[in-house]
């Protein structure tokens, strides 16, 4: 007979016990961050995130399906060049926690999520390098 010792995981005070509740709280923190950054109305928030009003409303109600924010949606938001730095930091915090499994997703879901974001990141970096190279070529041509 095998006896396993299991330590009971105790969540820090103030954190919701359910993983989905924790995810909903993190998304609500995103909404609070938008307001703190000066994006109060739904129109302002949608424009700040680079999303439609309906998508923004659904997200900020923390009822975005049961899976939270998708990798595709996150990549759209993070691709927005003028995204407020506080909002960007909150989204990156969400991504980090989701990738660690903090919101109860299984291994397959986490792997797909991480792989999609990694692919987008690589493509975005390549695009930025290409844009920078073109700018540098133009500047060099203008100086000559």
Domain-embedded: residue 9:
no
For residue range 89-115, what is the model confidence (pLDDT) as tens digits?
A: 999 898 888 887 877 777 787 788 878
The count of domains in the chain is 1
pLDDT at 40: 95
- Domain holding 40, by residue range, is 19-143
Domain-embedded: residue 27:
yes
Distance CA 120, CA 128 (A): 12
Domain-embedded: residue 8:
no
Domain-embedded: residue 2:
no
Angle between the N-to-C axes of helices 53-60 and 42-49, in degrees from 0 to 180, rounded to the nearest 10: 100
Domain-embedded: residue 7:
no
Distance CA 129, CA 83 (A): 20
At residue 129 the predicted structure's pLDDT band, cuts being 50, 70 and 90, is low
At residue 22 the predicted structure's pLDDT band, cuts being 50, 70 and 90, is confident
Question: Would you say the C-alpha torsion 12, 16, 78, 43 has a positive or negative sign?
Answer: negative
**Quick check: 22 and 62 in contact, CB under 8 A?**
no
pTM of the predicted model as reported, rounded to 2 decimal places = 0.66
Domain-embedded: residue 61:
yes
* 3-state secondary structure at position 62: coil
pLDDT, average across residues 52-73:
80
Total number of residues shown for the chain: 144
Distance CA 65, CA 126 (A): 32
**Quick check: 116 and 69 in contact, CB under 8 A?**
no
* 3-state secondary structure at position 41: coil
pLDDT at 49: 95
Domain-embedded: residue 10:
no
Domain-embedded: residue 5:
no
């Amino acid at each position: 007979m095998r006896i396993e010792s299991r330590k009971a995981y105790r969540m820090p005070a103030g954190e919701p016990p359910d993983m989905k509740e924790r995810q909903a709280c993190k998304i609500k923190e995103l909404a609070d961050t938008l307001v703190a950054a000066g994006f109060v109305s739904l129109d302002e928030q949608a424009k700040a995130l680079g999303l439609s009003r309906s998508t923004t409303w659904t997200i900020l109600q923390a009822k975005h399906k049961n899976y939270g924010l998708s990798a595709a949606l996150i990549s759209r938001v993070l691709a927005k060049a003028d995204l407020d730095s506080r909002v960007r930091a909150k989204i990156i915090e969400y991504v980090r926690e989701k990738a660690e499994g903090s919101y109860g997703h299984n291994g397959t879901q986490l792997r797909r999520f991480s792989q999609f974001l990694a692919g987008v990141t690589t493509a975005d970096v390549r695009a930025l390098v290409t844009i920078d190279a073109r700018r540098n070529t133009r500047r060099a041509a203008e100086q000559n």
